[in-house]
Amino acid sequence: MKKIFLIIIVVTVIGGLISCKKNNSDNSLKQQENEMQLHNNKIISLIQQFEEKMHSSFKSGEMIDIDSAVWNMEALQNYGYAYPDSSTKEFIHKKSYYTIPIDVYSKVLMSDVQVVNSLMEDTLAYQLSQFPEEVKCMKFWDVTTDSIVGSTAFLSAVGGYGLNLTGPYYGFDNDDDWLWGTLGQEYGTPPLGKCDGTMVGVSDGSDELQWRLNNPAFQSGEPIYFFTDLETLETTGFDWDDIGGVYPLYVGWDYPEDNCLTDVMLTDYLMNSDDIINTYDYEGGLRPAGKTFESVYIRDELLLLPNSQGKHLHYYLVTYGIPSFIPPPN
């Protein structure tokens, strides 16, 4: 009887400990959610304040730091126009350039910021209008200060655009073999298609990798409404360890031949790309600490070498940012 009573006490104590741990875990999760909510609310408040100033007619001579101006213009475009959660089959980068007067203290007039911000809005709308596809959207707008020369700051903005809706990716089927890529595709050269001569003008190896990476099968159930603090990092297979001369991202062989990438090769490149893109830099990947993958654009490049040699390769431009899970007000 005492033994049974002791067992009951032990079970009760263990149950109490489990209950305490569960309550602590729930409280910690709730605290994290509250902190994220507060952070998102603060970000949206800052963007809305900036938006009001962009639409005001003040002549106060107010000035702000160039870094603040860049952050706010980028955040406002993403807040107002971006659809980062849209699943699209095609993905394209468009770059535009701007200048703004700057003083010796790296400050710019708010009235000049208004002008540049308006130009960005017009450029975004114009770029989007140039795509003939019926379904299209802007997925991100990444603004950078390229240089400061004298009293002028030179800025650039990369707009990431998605075309034609699709669903989460599926893997490569047997005999799903594609030519590696297409030089000059961004200038209108039709994609080379499959290794068997079909699908010319439709897709190629890099396109097939790109749309899968931008539409992963496993996604967070919480929708992302826009990003802030965007940055785009560049990488190729040469940036990572090779195994016997084989790189984790595509680097060609037998130049100038257009290599055929079999379904097995493409699957390897897909898995390697996913690992590199989503692993934090302090763990050996590309992803910056505290940021989330937004999208990747794979450009087909030719690296010229001495003695008329060269290598075809996939050039990755990977964009990351801090996501907001709160929708902008209607």
pLDDT of residue 30: 63
Question: What average pLDDT score do residues 315-321 get?
Answer: 97
Q: How many CB atoms lie within 10 A of CB 154?
A: 15
Instruction: Give the pLDDT band (50/70/90) at residue 245.
Output: confident
Percent of the chain with pLDDT over 90: 72
- The answer on pLDDT for 261 being more than 80 is yes
Question: What average pLDDT score do residues 283-291 get?
Answer: 96
pLDDT of residue 96: 98
Buried b (16+ CB within 10 A) or exposed e, 37-73: eeebeebbebbeebbebbeeeeeeeebbebebbbbbb
pLDDT of residue 25: 52
Percent of the chain with pLDDT over 70: 86
Q: How far apart are CA 306 and CA 206, in angstroms?
A: 26
pLDDT of residue 33: 61
pLDDT of residue 306: 86
- As a whole number, the mean pLDDT across the chain is 88
**In 197-294, which ranges are continuous DSSP H helix?**
205-213, 263-278
* Tokens describing residue 122: 């017009």
Question: What average pLDDT score do residues 267-273 get?
Answer: 95
pLDDT of residue 240: 96
Length of the chain equals 330
- The answer on pLDDT for 3 being more than 60 is no
* Tokens describing residue 286: 């590309």
21 φ, ψ to 5°? -60, -40
